[in-house]
């Protein structure tokens, strides 16, 4: 019942990640939503639920999905991608068209500017082809430029690729990628966290970027201007504890400003596909030897950081456990920000699987 309710309520206007999360906190188990839960929601959202939520509405949603052959995946499903589940705001629902099984493969994100240079196009074609031949599923956003070229190159090589849309699953953006969209459904996978019919909106694309990086062991940025959506994906990747790779380019080129900046910040400089592949097994399997070392540091912590640190010991604790520990005391966004701050201050280390350990505890 809860799974079906997740999907149906997600189609109500104004009901997003936060609303569903709040209902779960209040003890909702699907089906009817009692008024003593609805009254804790924002007034507009509460009114939408009161006016529309019913068994008839839920049936209508599933009929429409069936008519459009849209598959669904929820965080309650066993085949929900483990890497994606680690995100602080993992999507409650994903809509799918194509080969669902690709979500169970090892994925690597490849993103870049919409205004790709000849150099950027060639590098994208080569790296995406070679990575797919090495068994990696390439994840991107079906945008113009680097994203589209990555998808097309993988499909041409007979490889696997996933497109994460910033629109509803049945909305093609940009329109000229209509042919690519059809090819992805036939030979790859298209996914979205937005209900069918959701049009493109500038605010939706940065949000979908967290899914591109969240599905992947790392993100390869081919070309990016100083202010680029690709850099948002790279930032998400870093925050999620994944690898970031950047392609160097001419210092005079505007399209290289972002990637060169990433390299300065510590992203792996890529000269060949080997530079990427050699890092990924290490990210996944190497122990963090310093996790149990005593770290002598003098740092200034905020009250929120001190509170969070009390829940992190020398034994790895997973992000979802931390979220449960601080519920009602610290917001999800503040938790995420404070964890990053504590890591930068040398107080904690992040291990694979979004686990955290206290570096200040003497073993």
* pLDDT tens digits along 260-314: 999 999 999 999 999 999 888 654 433 333 332 333 334 568 888 889 999 998 8
**Residue 153 structure tokens:** 């190159």
| pLDDT-above-70 percentage for the chain | 93
Tell me the pLDDT tens digit for each residue of 11-31: 998 898 889 888 888 888 888
Classify burial at 285, counting beta carbons within 10 Å of its beta carbon; exposed 0-12, middle 13-18, buried 19 or more.
exposed
Q: Which domain range does residue 298 map to?
A: 289-358
Tell me the pLDDT tens digit for each residue of 95-135: 999 999 999 999 999 999 999 999 999 999 999 999 999 99
Partnered with residue 200 across adjacent β-strands are none
Per-residue confidence (pLDDT) for residue 2, from 0 to 100: 82
Q: How many CB atoms lie within 10 A of CB 266?
A: 10
Please provide the DSSP assignment of 213-271 as one string: HHTSSEEEE----SS-HHHHHHHHHHHTT-EEEE----TT-GGGHHHHHHHHTTPEE-S
Residues 111 and 235 in one domain: yes
CA 324 – CA 332 distance, rounded (Å): 10
Tell me the pLDDT tens digit for each residue of 169-208: 999 999 999 999 999 999 999 999 999 989 887 778 888 9
Residues 278 and 314 in one domain: no
Residue-wise burial string across 147-186, b where 16 or more C-beta atoms lie within 10 A, e elsewhere: bbbbbbbbbebebbbbbbbbbbbbbbbeeebeebbebbbe
Residues 55 and 185 in one domain: no
- Answer yes or no: is 133 within a domain: yes
Tell me the pLDDT tens digit for each residue of 221-247: 999 988 788 899 999 998 898 999 999
Among candidate residues 23, 48, 67, the one where a domain is terminated: 67
Per-residue confidence (pLDDT) for residue 363, from 0 to 100: 42
Mean pLDDT of 39-66: 93
Residues 179 and 253 in one domain: yes
Average pLDDT, the chain: 87
Q: At 341, which CATH number? A: 1.10.10.10
- Look at the chain and report how many structural domains it folds into: 3
Residues 127 and 235 in one domain: yes
Q: Which are the contacts of 100, defined by CB distance < 8 A and separation ≥ 6? A: 71, 73, 79, 189
């Amino acid at each position: 019942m809860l799974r079906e309710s997740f999907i149906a309520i997600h189609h109500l206007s104004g009901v997003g990640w936060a609303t569903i999360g709040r209902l779960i906190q209040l003890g909702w188990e699907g089906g009817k939503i009692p008024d003593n839960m609805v009254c804790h929601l924002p007034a507009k959202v509460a009114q939408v639920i009161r006016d529309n939520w019913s068994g008839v509405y839920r049936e209508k949603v599933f009929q429409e999905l069936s008519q459009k052959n849209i598959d669904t995946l929820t965080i309650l499903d066993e085949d929900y991608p483990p890497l994606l589940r680690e995100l602080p705001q993992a999507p409650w629902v994903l809509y799918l068209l194509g080969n669902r099984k690709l979500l169970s493969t090892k994925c690597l994100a490849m993103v870049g500017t919409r205004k790709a240079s000849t150099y950027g196009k060639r590098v994208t074609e080569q790296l995406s082809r070679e990575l797919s031949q090495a068994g990696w599923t390439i994840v991107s956003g079906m945008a113009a430029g680097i994203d589209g070229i990555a998808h097309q190159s993988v499909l041409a090589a007979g490889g696997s690729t996933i497109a994460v849309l910033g629109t509803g699953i049945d909305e093609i953006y940009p329109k000229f990628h209509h042919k690519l969209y059809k090819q992805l459904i036939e030979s790859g996978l298209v996914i979205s966290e937005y209900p069918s019919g959701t049009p493109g909106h500038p605010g939706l694309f940065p949000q979908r970027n967290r899914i591109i990086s969240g599905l992947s062991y790392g993100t390869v940025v081919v070309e990016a201007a100083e202010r680029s959506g690709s850099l948002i994906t790279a930032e998400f990747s870093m925050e999620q504890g994944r690898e970031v790779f950047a392609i160097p380019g001419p210092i005079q080129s505007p399209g290289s400003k972002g990637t060169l900046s990433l390299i300065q910040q510590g992203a792996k400089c890529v000269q060949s596909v080997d530079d990427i592949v050699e890092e990924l097994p290490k990210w996944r399997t190497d122990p963090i030897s310093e996790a149990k070392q005593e770290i002598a540091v003098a740092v200034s912590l905020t009250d929120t950081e001190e509170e969070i640190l009390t829940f992190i010991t020398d034994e790895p604790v997973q992000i979802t456990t931390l979220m449960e520990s601080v519920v009602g005391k610290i917001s999800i966004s503040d938790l995420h920000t404070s964890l990053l701050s504590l890591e930068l201050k040398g107080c904690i280390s992040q291990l694979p699987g979004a686990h955290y350990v206290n570096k200040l505890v003497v073993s």
